[in-house]
Each structure stands twice: as structure tokens, then as C-alpha cells.
Amino acid sequence: MKKLHFVSDKTFKANAYKKNALKKYKNYSPYNADIIVVIGGDGFMLQTLKKFQKYKKPFYGINRGSFGFLMNKFKKNNLQNIIKSKVVTILPLQMHAIAKNNIKKNVIAINEVSLLRQSKQTASLQIFNKKKIIIKKLVCDGILVSTPAGSTAYNSSVNGPVLSLNSRKIVVTPISPFRPRKLKYKILPTSSIIKIINLNIKKRPISVVADNVEVRNIKSVKITINKNIKFKLLYDRNSSLEKKISVEKFKNKVSSWH
């Protein structure tokens, strides 16, 4: 059996599972463990991935939350089969944000980076890929940039496409675009450097959220793939992340942004 470190959310179901597991298994330190077992839902998994990223260990999620897209389905024998699980490697987004008064924030996002209007006024944005202008002026409720792993989450709910894990792509999806009104998403290679500028900081303030980290009153945001950080997720052989994405991809067919 592998050496395990258990981390659980504060919910009753998550704590109960951890308590029962610790009756059978030793809880090694994250430094000495072979695998970090995450008990909870998707939100807790995202927090844990970032918190324990420095140990460079694989993560095995057990769903004791709601949807649990990033997690394995809860079973009584989860831990017995953990040694047979398959590894999936995902790369996060790197967000560099500059806010009002030139306050800077630099964080990673595993699912997506979303820019949202902060007041009753719509956002007015200009979007670049490297030095090329993609959209000169986008009037909208917001925009998001998503990884393949995150493409089934918020991105999917605003009619963005579901990307395969091995696609080597990211997707930029507008949220309720007003001008251009019929603007859809744009799929870009992972080598892209997305820069989004707020064209009217005073009248049309916006915030940016990288997974669960928010920065308000944004002037500009730069988003890239961070190839130096690799998260390894473990999945039961009959329930891989790729299979989950394939199911969502089949459910979510929309037209592309040309």
C-alpha cells in the first residue's frame, strides 16, 4: 500500500470519511507521503492542489461534495484500488493582474480566469494574443479564459466548447456579449499570451477571478499557460477525467468563433 496523506473538507460527509479511513491507514505527512488523498468536492480539490503543489505529489480525490468532476466517485473500496489508478497531468493558467493604483497580483488558475463587470455598467474590453488585437472593443458582462480541465465548468455554462485534455488548447469565451452581439468563443494554442485591457476603468470597473481568488478594479490582465507547474491527478481506471470530458463534450455542441 502507498503512503497516504489525508486532507478533508470541513463538511460532515468529508470528515466522517477521513475519520473512518484513519482507523485503517496511517496519515503520513505530505512530505513523506506517496499520494495526497483529497476528500470533498471540486472547490476543495482546487484549493488543495494549490496548497500542496510544492510537494510535487499526485492527488487522488474522493467525492464527498456535490458534482465532483475532478474527483473519483465515492466507493467503499476507493483506497484499496488507489494503487491501480491512472495518472492525468494538467497545466494551470498563470494570471498577472494589474489593478487600480498599480497593485499587482500573480496567481495560478487550474480551471479558468474570468473577468466580470463590477457594477451595473457592462464591461468594455480590448483583447490581444501576444501583440495581435483579437477584439478591438468588446462590450459584455465579462470574458473567461479556460484550460481543457476547466472547460466543462463555468466555460461550458456560458456556451464555451469542451476541450479534450490532450488538445494543447485554451479557450477564450465572452460572457453575454452585447457588441459584437453574436460573438462566440475562440480556441487558441497553449503558446498564446492573452492580454485583456479595461478600456474604461472609472465608469466600467471590472474584477478578475482566478479559480477562487478575486482581484477588483482591474486595469489589465495577462494570462498564459504555466508549463513549469504540473498537477498529477489519479483516477480509477473505469472513471478517468478524459472519459468525463468526453461525455460533457458530447452534450455541449455549439458553433465556433471564426
Neighbours of 28 (CB within 10 A): 16
DSSP-derived 3-state class of residue 15:
helix
pLDDT of residue 27: 97
Q: Which three cell numbers stand for residue 152?
A: 466543462
Q: Which string of DSSP letters, residue by residue, matches 42-110? A: HHHHHHHHHHTGGG---EEEEE-SSS-TTSBPP-TTTTTSGGGPEEEEE--EEEEEEEGGG-EEEEEES
Known catalytic residue at 42: yes
Asked if residue 46 is part of any domain, the answer here is yes
- pLDDT one digit per residue (tens) for the chain, 258 residues: 689 999 999 999 999 999 999 999 999 999 999 999 999 999 999 999 999 999 999 999 999 987 778 899 888 888 888 888 999 899 999 999 999 989 999 999 999 999 999 999 999 999 999 999 999 999 999 999 999 989 988 998 898 998 888 889 999 999 999 999 889 999 999 999 999 999 999 999 999 999 889 999 999 999 999 999 999 999 987 766 666 666 666 565 544 555
Cα 2 to the chain's mean position, in Å? Answer: 28
Q: Same structural domain for residues 102 and 80? A: no
The domain in which residue 108 lies consists of 93-225
Separation between Cα atoms, residue 239 and residue 258, nearest integer Å: 34
Asked if residue 27 is part of any domain, the answer here is yes
Residue type, 135: I
**Residue where one domain finishes, among candidates 84, 112, 128:** 84
Asked if residue 211 is part of any domain, the answer here is yes
Q: Same structural domain for residues 102 and 26? A: no
Q: Same structural domain for residues 15 and 79? A: yes
pLDDT of residue 244: 63
Q: Same structural domain for residues 67 and 29? A: yes
**Residue where one domain finishes, among candidates 84, 103, 134:** 84
Asked if residue 234 is part of any domain, the answer here is no
Asked if residue 79 is part of any domain, the answer here is yes
- The answer to whether the CB of 173 falls within 8 A of the CB of 147 is no
Asked if residue 154 is part of any domain, the answer here is yes
pLDDT of residue 215: 95
Question: Which residue do the cell numbers 470519511 mark?
Answer: 17
Which CATH number do you get for residue 185?
2.60.200.30
Q: Same structural domain for residues 111 and 214? A: yes
Q: Which of 193, 197, 198 is nearest to 130 (CA)?
A: 193
Burial class of residue 36 in the structure, from the number of CB atoms within 10 Å of its CB (0-12 exposed, 13-18 middle, 19+ buried) = buried
Which CATH number do you get for residue 71?
3.40.50.10330
pLDDT of residue 253: 56
User: β-strand 231-235 against 59-63: which pairing, if any?
Assistant: parallel
pLDDT of residue 212: 84
**Residue where one domain finishes, among candidates 22, 51, 84:** 84
- The answer to whether the CB of 224 falls within 8 A of the CB of 49 is no
Q: Same structural domain for residues 12 and 44? A: yes
Confidence (pTM): 0.86
Catalytic annotation, pick one of 9, 34, 42, 236: 42
pLDDT of residue 80: 86
